[in-house]
């Protein structure tokens, strides 16, 4: 059986040079694929100090070895780059069909270098690649862009593109494919800085597997397991549109810029209320869950608003930060973000921050062009989204994200900026789910909910052991969640699908796809996750990050949480130093948070030693 390591397409936008190469077997063995390849190539090719919006930064798009096959929920894809929002390692995960289409074109990695003088897009086929003018679509929203590319290249085309927000270099612009987004960290901003509007792939179904017979037998087994799994059936019915029922009940729904953990009258936001406006569902390639629930507003000032979503994070982003219970406004806001190509989490969090600045008198009506940013009012929030995307008025400032707004505004506004490493915090209150909070603190990308999702705290998952969600001593759980997420993102498995009862097949599927037997060993997969996380850490250390960047915002560490009727009133995250000491020790890092020599050698990352001061 021949080993199948996957192919790379390298496109240099400055020179127009295009080349294809194979991934060396040593890299495939150590990093498997997907995010593993992302961190390896980013580490090797992005020098310390590279300007995230300069010509030398790169956008790396990655499909995993399982994408485009009959296996279910394994065709998600990833964008890696150096983040213009944080300056740290960036990875953002997306759904829809694009990952499968990369595999149909026999590609697992697309590395985009340089910058075009004039707006352009890349068109890829299984045996070709052209850089073409984007004159007709520059300025268009993501829906119009994708429709135009389909009209040019036919229905067998799938696209990853940016909207006006990426063109305007909003620091948290997203890459959009269909109506799914690689939202976090400003990956769309980096595309915009390269004058790159889109990557379009035209291809038809083709399989590239080392052992297709074994693979397809395993995939059939997976299909059989999933179809009757309760967690799958629940996800198929609701997607994430009812998660707010749980997070409000237990007091971890961040409200008014992370001051409360429960929203007044939160029942008005219940999943059952969104259900009344549901008109359909959408999904990713080869996933029967179709968890993207489509909503249409049928009356009121947002009549006609229509969105594939909002999903939980976006439901929160457009309700909790400004304490609005208007679900129609959240649907409209979600639609606008997808059209403009904005990360909903950073957008909603930054708007909630602006509302608090307004409340505290640090900005006023003359700054906001007359908008009154008063909690409960959703109209100004919807208006701000357009201003941010197009950098109009105060939107030009808010487009920089909470960390930079605070630095520019000064006036003590930094205490209201709810981010870690510059990445805005998402929809789980750290004071009521502390392992989740410490994942935000230590994740390579900053405050990402899904970099090491603490299902133990949030849903009471008992694996590898249960947690008390107010306990700050679970460094082992945070590491377990982060490493297992990393190895799952080699596939690339959807984060939801890991709990559908087929985890024991993952390694076997990887082994049959690649022809590398050691992937069958779960302990080896955990080692790869650890290797990836350590290399990401080394990437960040080389860029100047360290222990000082592993803390949650002051508000979370010093201001007691108010939970209204839920458990957890008065909680703070008060033991960060003890937690970090323990976490670093378990990771094999120094007190400063630098991977030590022994650890790097164990993980076959010896070459990194020369780059970081241990
Ligand atoms: S569960 Fe939802 S997000 Fe995950 S692959 Fe399926 S449709 Fe996509």
Q: What CATH code is carried by the domain that includes residue 91?
A: 3.60.9.10
Question: Which pLDDT score is estimated for 211?
Answer: 97
Q: Residue 519: inside a domain, yes or no?
A: no
Structure tokens at 516: 């590398």
How far is ligand 1, taken at its centre, from the CA of residue 239, in Å? 8
Cβ(281) – ligand 1 distance below 6 Å: no
Q: Report which protein residue has its CA nearest ligand 1's atom 8.
A: 284
Question: Which pLDDT score is estimated for 461?
Answer: 94
How far is ligand 1, taken at its centre, from the CA of residue 391, in Å? 32
How far is ligand 1, taken at its centre, from the CA of residue 568, in Å? 32
Domain containing 69 equals 7-202
Structurally, the chain folds into a number of domains equal to: 2
Cβ(289) – ligand 1 distance below 6 Å: yes
Cβ(494) – ligand 1 distance below 6 Å: yes
pTM comes to 0.98
Low-confidence ranges of the chain (pLDDT < 70): none
Q: Residue 160: inside a domain, yes or no?
A: yes
Same domain, 58 and 139: yes
Q: Which of 202, 231, 263 is the last residue of a domain?
A: 202
Quote the CA–CA distance of 460 and 455 in Å, as a whole number.
6
Q: Residue 405: inside a domain, yes or no?
A: yes
Q: Which of 424, 447, 462 is the last residue of a domain?
A: 424
Cβ(95) – ligand 1 distance below 6 Å: yes
Question: Which pLDDT score is estimated for 556?
Answer: 98
Could you tell me if 568 and 470 are in contact, meaning their C-beta atoms sit under 8 angstroms apart? yes
* Residue from 68, 496, 497, 502 to probe ligand 1 pocket by mutation (most atoms less than 8 Å from CB): 496
* Residue from 64, 283, 285, 313 to probe ligand 1 pocket by mutation (most atoms less than 8 Å from CB): 283
Cβ(552) – ligand 1 distance below 6 Å: no
Same domain, 189 and 292: no
Q: Residue 601: inside a domain, yes or no?
A: no
Which atom of ligand 1 has the smallest separation from the CA of 284?
8
Q: Residue 453: inside a domain, yes or no?
A: no
Residue whose C-alpha is closest to residue 455's, from 474, 436, 440, 438: 436
Q: Residue 411: inside a domain, yes or no?
A: yes
Q: Report which protein residue has its CA nearest ligand 1's atom 4.
A: 494
* 462 alpha-carbon distance from chain centroid: 25
Q: Which of 365, 395, 424 is the last residue of a domain?
A: 424
Could you tell me if 69 and 207 are in contact, meaning their C-beta atoms sit under 8 angstroms apart? yes
Same domain, 133 and 267: no
β-sheet with 292-296: strand ranges across:
278-282, 292-296, 306-308
How far is ligand 1, taken at its centre, from the CA of residue 367, in Å? 41
Same domain, 275 and 383: yes
How far is ligand 1, taken at its centre, from the CA of residue 16, in Å? 35
Same domain, 193 and 248: no
| CATH number reported for the structural domain that contains residue 409 in this entry | 1.10.569.10
Question: Which pLDDT score is estimated for 1?
Answer: 80
**Residue 278 CA: distances (Å) to CA of 237, 259, 299, 575:** 11, 31, 14, 43
Same domain, 76 and 150: yes
Could you tell me if 494 and 76 are in contact, meaning their C-beta atoms sit under 8 angstroms apart? yes
Q: What is the pLDDT of residues 16-32, one digit of tens each?
A: 999 999 999 999 999 99
Q: Residue 565: inside a domain, yes or no?
A: no
Question: Which pLDDT score is estimated for 447?
Answer: 98
Q: What is the pLDDT of residues 330-362, one digit of tens each?
A: 999 999 999 999 999 999 999 999 999 999 999
Same domain, 321 and 383: yes
How far is ligand 1, taken at its centre, from the CA of residue 187, in Å? 21
Q: Residue 576: inside a domain, yes or no?
A: no
Q: Report which protein residue has its CA nearest ligand 1's atom 6.
A: 287
Same domain, 262 and 370: yes
Rounded to 5 degrees, what are φ and ψ at 609?
A: -50, -40
How far is ligand 1, taken at its centre, from the CA of residue 286, in Å? 9
Same domain, 188 and 280: no
Q: Report which protein residue has its CA nearest ligand 1's atom 7.
A: 283
Same domain, 146 and 283: no
Same domain, 303 and 173: no
Cβ(62) – ligand 1 distance below 6 Å: no
Which atom of ligand 1 has the smallest separation from the CA of 74?
5
Question: Which pLDDT score is estimated for 614?
Answer: 72
Same domain, 168 and 297: no
Q: Report which protein residue has its CA nearest ligand 1's atom 2.
A: 291
Quote the CA–CA distance of 88 and 84 in Å, as a whole number.
8
């Amino acid at each position: 059986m021949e080993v199948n390591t996957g192919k790379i397409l390298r496109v240099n936008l400055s020179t127009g040079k295009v080349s294809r190469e194979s991934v060396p077997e040593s890299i495939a063995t150590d990093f498997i694929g997907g995010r593993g390849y992302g961190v390896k190539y980013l580490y090797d090719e992005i020098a310390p100090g590279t300007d995230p919006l300069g010509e030398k930064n790169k956008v790396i798009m990655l499909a995993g070895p399982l994408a485009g096959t009959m296996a279910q929920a394994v065709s998600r894809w990833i964008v890696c780059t150096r983040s213009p929002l944080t300056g740290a390692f960036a990875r953002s995960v997306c759904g829809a069909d694009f990952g499968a289409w990369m595999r149909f074109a026999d590609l697992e990695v697309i590395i985009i270098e340089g910058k075009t003088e004039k707006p352009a897009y890349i068109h890829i086929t299984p045996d070709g690649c052209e850089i073409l003018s984007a004159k007709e679509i520059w300025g268009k929203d993501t829906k119009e862009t994708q429709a135009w590319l389909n009209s040019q290249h036919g229905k067998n085309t799938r696209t990853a593109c940016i909207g006006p927000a990426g063109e305007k270099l909003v620091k948290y612009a997203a890459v959009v494919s269909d109506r799914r987004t690689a939202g976090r960290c400003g990956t769309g901003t980096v595309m915009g800085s390269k004058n790159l509007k889109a990557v379009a792939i035209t291809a038809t179904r083709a399989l590239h597997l080392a052992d297709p017979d074994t693979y397809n037998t395993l995939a059939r087994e997976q299909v059989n397991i999933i179809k009757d799994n309760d967690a799958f059936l629940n996800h198929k019915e609701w997607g994430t549109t009812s998660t707010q029922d749980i997070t409000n009940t237990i007091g971890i729904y961040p409200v008014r810029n992370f001051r409360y953990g429960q929203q007044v009258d939160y029942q008005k936001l219940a999943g059952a209320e969104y259900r009344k406006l549901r008109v359909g569902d959408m999904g990713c390639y080869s996933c029967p869950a179709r968890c993207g629930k489509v909503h249409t507003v049928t009356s009121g000032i947002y009549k006609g608003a229509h969105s594939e979503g909002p999903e939980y994070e976006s439901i929160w982003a457009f309700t909790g930060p400004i304490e609005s219970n208007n679900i129609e406004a959240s649907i409209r806001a979600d639609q606008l973000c997808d059209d403009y190509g904005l990360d909903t989490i950073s957008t909603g969090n930054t708007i909630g921050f602006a509302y608090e600045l307004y409340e505290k008198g640090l900005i006023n009506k003359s700054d906001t062009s007359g908008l009154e940013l008063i909690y409960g009012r959703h109209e100004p929030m919807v208006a701000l989204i357009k201003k941010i995307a197009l950098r109009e008025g105060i939107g030009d400032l808010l487009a920089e994200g909470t960390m930079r707004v605070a630095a520019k505004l000064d006036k003590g506004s930094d205490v209201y900026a709810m981010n870690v490493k510059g990445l805005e915090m998402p929809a789980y209150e750290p004071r009521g789910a502390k392992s989740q909070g410490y994942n935000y603190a230590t994740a390579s990308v900053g405050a990402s909910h899904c970099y090491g999702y603490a299902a133990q705290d949030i849903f009471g998952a008992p694996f590898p052991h249960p947690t008390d969600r107010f306990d700050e001593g679970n460094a082992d759980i945070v590491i377990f969640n982060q490493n297992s997420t990393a190895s799952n993102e080699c596939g690339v498995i959807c984060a939801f699908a890991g709990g559908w009862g087929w985890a024991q097949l993952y390694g076997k599927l990887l082994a049959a796809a690649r022809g590398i037997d050691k992937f069958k060993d779960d302990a080896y997969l955990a080692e790869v996750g650890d290797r990836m996380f350590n290399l990401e850490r080394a990437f960040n250390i080389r860029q100047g990050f360290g222990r000082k960047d592993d803390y949650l915002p002051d508000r979370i560490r010093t201001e007691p949480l108010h939970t209204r009727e839920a458990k957890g009133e008065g909680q703070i995250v008060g033991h960060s130093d003890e937690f970090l000491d323990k976490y670093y020790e378990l990771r094999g890092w120094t007190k400063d948070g630098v991977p030590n020599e022994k650890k790097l050698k164990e993980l076959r990352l010896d070459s990194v030693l020369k780059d970081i001061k241990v």
